[in-house]
């Protein structure tokens, strides 16, 4: 049975309630096994629209499953995307409050600042480079609403790809000055190194990852807008954190970005 508009709105309310009440819920496909990837993106779009009606605004996109190794592990062959809203943006000098989250994890990412509209279904990494003004260090906080962080692909897409918070470092670098695939990062937790990586972990090149997102958005008549921020995908595995923890991502050429939790 196909999902009706009413069912989609029920799913949106289910996920919004879980996020607002900071509680884990069973994955959507437990009750709606007919949820397809296409319909999951429809639900995601409805979810974002509800949030915009509540007072936030759309400011860009984020990529998920951009690691080839993770794709193979999960038996999938493409990335996924979610939408960033203004209320997700956190500031380095203001600790993230654990009471606002369920079971958060931090990932180091490269943020792209888009300087011109970009839309289509045949966009390349080179097109993304031409449209990008700056790149910067970023940390994304993911926080699935699902019990034990377990879900199928349609589940996570409907849940806006586990989006929660993100922080961006203060150093903006022209994209032409950076070798994105070779850009290295060291992530520490309470001053101890926990993971390292380089931009090539993101579909071989973070610009290619952003191009994939533009092409996928293009299939739905959407695209990137001038002024958008795009988180190109996790360079390393996600690291769980708790109150009292400090996470720092130190990038070559881009400087650092720090998250603290209370």
Per-residue confidence (pLDDT) for residue 67, from 0 to 100: 82
Q: Which residues contact 145 (CB under 8 A, 6 or more apart)?
A: 15, 18, 19, 23, 24, 25, 102, 159, 162
Our CA dihedral for 158, 77, 74, 143, rounded to 10 degrees, sits at -40
Per-residue confidence (pLDDT) for residue 68, from 0 to 100: 74
- Rounded to whole angstroms, how far apart are CA atoms 131 and 236? 26
Q: What are phi and psi of 158, to 5 degrees?
A: -60, -35
Write out the two tokens for 129: 């480079």
pLDDT at 184 > cutoff 70: yes
Average pLDDT, whole number, for the chain?
95
Are 185 and 196 within 8 A, CB to CB? yes
Domains of the chain: 5-260 (3.90.850.10)
Per-residue pLDDT band at 157 (split at 50, 70, 90): very high
In tens, the pLDDT along 201-241 reads 999 999 999 999 999 999 999 999 999 999 999 999 999 99
- Tell me the whole-structure pTM to 2 decimals: 0.95
């Amino acid at each position: 049975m196909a999902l009706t508009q009413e069912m989609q709105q029920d799913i949106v309310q289910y996920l919004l309630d879980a996020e607002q009440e900071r509680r884990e819920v069973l994955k959507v496909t437990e009750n709606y096994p007919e949820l397809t990837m296409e319909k999951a993106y429809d639900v995601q779009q409805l979810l974002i629209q509800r949030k915009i009606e509540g007072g936030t605004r759309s400011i860009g996109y984020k990529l998920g499953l951009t690691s080839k190794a993770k794709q193979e592990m999960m038996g999938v062959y493409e990335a996924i995307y979610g939408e960033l809203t203004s209320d997700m943006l956190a500031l380095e000098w203001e600790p993230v409050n654990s009471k606002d989250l369920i079971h958060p994890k931090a990932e180091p990412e490269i943020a792209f600042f888009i300087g011109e509209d970009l839309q289509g279904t045949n966009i390349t990494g080179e097109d993304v480079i031409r449209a990008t003004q700056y790149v910067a260090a970023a940390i994304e906080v993911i926080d699935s609403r699902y019990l034990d962080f377990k879900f199928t692909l349609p589940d996570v897409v409907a849940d806006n790809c586990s989006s929660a918070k993100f922080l961006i470092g203060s150093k903006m670098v022209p994209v032409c000055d950076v070798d994105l695939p070779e850009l290295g990062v060291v992530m520490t937790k309470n001053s101890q190194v926990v993971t390292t990586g380089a931009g090539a972990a993101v579909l071989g090149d973070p610009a290619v990852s952003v191009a994939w997102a533009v092409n996928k958005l293009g299939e739905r008549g959407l695209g990137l807008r001038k002024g958008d921020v795009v988180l190109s995908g996790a360079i390393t595995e996600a690291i769980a954190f708790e109150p009292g923890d400090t996470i720092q991502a130190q990038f070559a050429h881009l400087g650092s970005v720090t998250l603290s939790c209370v």
